[in-house]
């Protein structure tokens, strides 16, 4: 397969190739968040203006959480459709994403307008900064639909195989913002309203560029029917995007709690309310630049990690991670040195203020970002775990630092330490977070070291047979469906594929046979999220390609793997679904595997759930729905009798 070079090319060369575009794209994106603050801070508004934008920023992140969740979900769904050559559902998912994103954006604007002042006060506005924040936010809010649409469409453009165009879309908007900011703020003397207009005009241009792309897409085409709501497809989009939503909303929670505590305890300190709010806003924007660099590195590595993990080339997984980790630590240490040794140079880029302002700003950079190298490492390891198909560990690493540790600490510490306590919450959370991360990494790599590649056996071949029925068998766990399928194949004297399919797919793709075999057997509370990871995606692509090759060779029986959907356009297809009452299946599992009744019941429920989520993700249809099959049969009549019924059904069909 075309992905095999990921398992052979020099790791450092691959990492450079994939990471540089990701880093540039993320850095360009971060320009939107930082340019306004630089020009506003150097205007007559000073830190009051920066405080106002810092108050508004978390509210806009809420809108982006929805936009990115829908955009990333649509992009992930598009990637799945690309793998299975599904042109029917891809455009519907994207069209639904666009229209629902737009509807949510309108509702968001209306709701926020109704409660604007309450929200601004909640996020830290004072009597001084409230009118400034209102002037800025009213303009930003009116154009929130533009902002959300542009962000949602950008993710789809990347998934369509045009990351360069996606980056260009963001870049042209950022450049527009940079050019217009000084013109509007200083030239036209529009103040903070000028910064807002510069931002929204840049966003409008980004959206226009994205819309132009949607007229010349590569793997899908938007038509009017794309916008007809399909709740089943859109529910899959939401499932695929939920992790992005949680990540973005965690940023909102962190910003909200941090701003509230800084405003509350700043008001009773010598710094007042506005200085801490302004400074933390600047600090977080600078922090984002550093994080975007290391996140860009590991995002570029995702493809390499995913393929080699699926191929059980664990040495290449370790080497890739080592390069990512070393790069992350270097970036983190350089950043830490800058923030500790010369924070004033960075702060003055955003305007020079009073001695009191500089005092708190220097203190914030030195305390809040003291362990930024740990923060970077935690973020990178979270994405690493996602890349190797372990979303549970990814979530633990991410949420431990940000939600479990930082949020409680930023609430508790100021009670005893005043406004400075909020600053110490970050480095303490970093220390706890890095300890948890290291423990999970050790456990992961220890388990990785104990796993052996599957023993080498001769790879089965795809056998030629006469043209005739292509029989696909889906089955509930415990129905003895594999044995029934084998009996049917013998009666028809045609090839039978079950384990053979995964062995051939492994040979074709370079992935590990055991990994492909267990693709829809992973007993994981986040199984659906696992199916969207890079290793699972490569495995799905490999086995679907082999299923089509097998069917092209003539009549055969194929067990599972959503083969009925993969081969849906084959005119010789016969789709069978085997079910049975629970008592029968429990008894079968007890006999076949030696389980007791409790474990047998637990296993059939877990297995059926995983098969259903796999089938739903692949085929966008319900596992076991009678409308999806030509014959549904109760296996409790006995395996031999079931095979006989299926045989007669196939022989007698016209």
3-state secondary structure 208-265: HHHHHHCCCCCCCCCCHHHHCCCHHHHHHHHHHHHHHHHHHHHHHHHHHHHHHHHHHH
Cα 138 to Cα 143: distance, rounded to the nearest angstrom = 9
pLDDT at 147: 94
Whether domain 470-652 has CATH 2.40.30.10: the reply is no
What count of other Cβ atoms lies within 10 Å of the Cβ of residue 640?
11
> What is the DSSP pairing of strand 573-579 with strand 631-634?
parallel
Nearest Cα neighbor of 281 from 201, 368, 203, 340 is: 368
Q: Would you kindly state where each structural domain of the chain is located, as residue ranges?
A: 12-42+269-452, 57-267, 470-652
Cα 130 to Cα 457: distance, rounded to the nearest angstrom = 71
pLDDT at 649: 94
Cα 328 to Cα 384: distance, rounded to the nearest angstrom = 12
Nearest Cα neighbor of 570 from 468, 481, 648, 489 is: 468
Nearest Cα neighbor of 395 from 383, 409, 407, 413 is: 383
The residues of the chain scoring below 50 in pLDDT are 1-2, 452-457, 523-525
CB 496 within 8 A of CB 557: yes
Cα 277 to Cα 50: distance, rounded to the nearest angstrom = 8
Torsion-angle region of residue 638: left (phi > 0), alpha (psi -120 to 50) or beta?
Answer: left
- Can you read off the two tokens belonging to residue 556? 């055969």
Cα 116 to Cα 120: distance, rounded to the nearest angstrom = 6
Nearest Cα neighbor of 512 from 317, 380, 381, 319 is: 317
pLDDT at 616: 78
Burial class (CB in 10 A: 0-12, 13-18, 19+), 204: middle
pTM of the model: 0.74
Identify the residue whose tokens are 């040794």: 341
Instruction: Give Cα separations from 569 to 181, 220, 473, 552, 635 (angstroms).
Output: 55, 19, 16, 12, 27
| Residue 640 exposure: Cα atoms within 13 Å on the Cβ side | 0
pLDDT at 2: 45
Cα 109 to Cα 126: distance, rounded to the nearest angstrom = 23
Cα 52 to Cα 125: distance, rounded to the nearest angstrom = 7
pLDDT at 77: 80
pLDDT at 514: 67
- Across 540-579, b (16+ Cβ under 10 Å) vs e yields bbbbbbbbbebbeebbbbbbbbbbbbbbbebeebbbbbbb
- Can you read off the two tokens belonging to residue 194? 């000028």
Cα 113 to Cα 562: distance, rounded to the nearest angstrom = 48
Cα 67 to Cα 31: distance, rounded to the nearest angstrom = 19
- Can you read off the two tokens belonging to residue 67? 């936009």
Nearest Cα neighbor of 473 from 375, 573, 402, 548 is: 573
CB 83 within 8 A of CB 131: no
Q: H/E element holding 584?
A: helix 582-593
CB 375 within 8 A of CB 339: no
pLDDT at 131: 94
- Can you read off the two tokens belonging to residue 430? 């970093």
Nearest Cα neighbor of 314 from 118, 515, 507 is: 515
pLDDT at 28: 81
- Can you read off the two tokens belonging to residue 64? 């982006």
| Residue 549 exposure: Cα atoms within 13 Å on the Cβ side | 16
- Across 280-289, b (16+ Cβ under 10 Å) vs e yields bbbbbbbbbe
- Can you read off the two tokens belonging to residue 47? 């830190």
């Amino acid at each position: 397969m075309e992905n095999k070079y990921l398992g052979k090319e020099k790791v450092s060369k691959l990492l450079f190739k994939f990471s540089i575009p990701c880093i540039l794209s993320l850095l360009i994106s971060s320009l939107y968040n930082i340019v306004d603050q630089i020009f506003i801070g150097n205007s007559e508004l000073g830190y009051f203006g920066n405080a106002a934008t810092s108050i508004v920023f978390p509210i806009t992140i809420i809108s982006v959480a929805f936009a990115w969740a829908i955009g990333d979900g649509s992009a992930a769904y598009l990637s799945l459709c690309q793998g299975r050559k599904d042109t029917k559902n891809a455009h519907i998912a994207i069209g639904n994403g666009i229209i629902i994103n737009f509807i949510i954006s309108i509702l968001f604007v209306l709701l926020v307008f109704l409660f604007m002042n309450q929200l601004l006060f909640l996020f830290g506005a004072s009597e001084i900064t409230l009118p400034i924040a209102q002037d800025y936010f009213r303009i930003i809010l009116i154009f929130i639909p533009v902002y959300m649409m542009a962000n949602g469409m950008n993710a789809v453009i990347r998934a369509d195989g045009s990351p360069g165009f996606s980056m260009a879309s963001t870049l042209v908007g950022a450049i527009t913002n940079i050019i217009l900011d000084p013109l509007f703020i200083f030239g036209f003397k529009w103040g903070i309203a000028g910064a807002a207009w510069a931002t929204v005009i840049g966003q409008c241009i980004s959206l226009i560029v994205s819309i132009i792309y949607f007229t010349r897409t590569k793997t899908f085409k938007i038509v009017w029917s794309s916008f007809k709501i399909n709740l089943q497809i859109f529910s899959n989009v939401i499932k695929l995007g939920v992790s992005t939503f949680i990540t973005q909303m965690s940023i909102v929670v962190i910003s909200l709690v941090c701003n509230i505590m800084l405003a509350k305890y700043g008001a009773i300190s010598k710094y007042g309310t506005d200085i801490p709010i302004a400074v933390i806003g600047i600090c977080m924007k600078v922090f984002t630049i550093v994080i975007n660099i290391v996140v860009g590195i590991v995002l570029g590595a995702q493809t390499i990690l995913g393929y080699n993990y699926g191929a059980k080339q664990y040495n290449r997984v370790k080497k890739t991670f080592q390069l990512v980790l070393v790069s992350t630590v270097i970036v983190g240490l350089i950043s830490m040195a800058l923030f500790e040794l010369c924070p004033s140079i960075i702060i003055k880029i955003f305007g020079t203020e009073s001695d009191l302002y500089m005092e708190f700003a220097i203190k914030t950079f030195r305390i809040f970002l003291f362990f930024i190298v740990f923060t970077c490492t935690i973020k990178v390891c979270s994405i690493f775990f996602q890349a190797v198909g372990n979303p549970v560990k990814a979530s633990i690493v991410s949420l431990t630092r940000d939600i479990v540790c930082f949020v409680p600490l930023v609430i508790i510490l100021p009670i005893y330490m005043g406004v400075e306590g909020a600053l110490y919450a970050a480095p303490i959370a970093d220390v706890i977070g890095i300890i948890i991360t290291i423990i999970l990494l050790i456990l992961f790599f220890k388990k990785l070291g104990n796993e052996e590649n599957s023993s080498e056996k001769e790879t089965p071949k795809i056998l030629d047979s006469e043209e005739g029925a292509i029989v696909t068998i889906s089955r509930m766990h415990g129905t003895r469906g594999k044995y029934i399928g084998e009996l049917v194949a013998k009666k028809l004297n045609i090839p039978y594929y079950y384990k053979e399919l995964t062995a051939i797919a492994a040979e074709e793709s370079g992935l590990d046979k055991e990994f492909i075999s267990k693709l829809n057997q992973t007993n994981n509370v986040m199984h659906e999220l696992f199916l969207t990871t890079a290793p699972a995606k490569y495995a799905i692509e490999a086995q679907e390609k082999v299923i089509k090759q097998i069917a092209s060779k003539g009549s055969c029986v194929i067990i599972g793997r959503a083969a009925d959907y993969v081969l849906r356009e084959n005119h010789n297809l016969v789709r069978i679904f085997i079910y049975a009452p629970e008592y029968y299946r429990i008894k079968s599992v007890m006999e076949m595997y030696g389980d007791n009744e409790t474990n047998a019941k637990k296993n059939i429920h877990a297995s059926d759930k995983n098969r259903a989520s796999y089938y739903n993700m692949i085929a966008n249809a319900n596992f076991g729905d009678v409308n999806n099959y030509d014959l549904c049969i109760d296996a409790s009549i006995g395996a031999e009798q079931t095979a006989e019924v299926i045989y007669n059904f196939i022989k007698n069909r016209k």
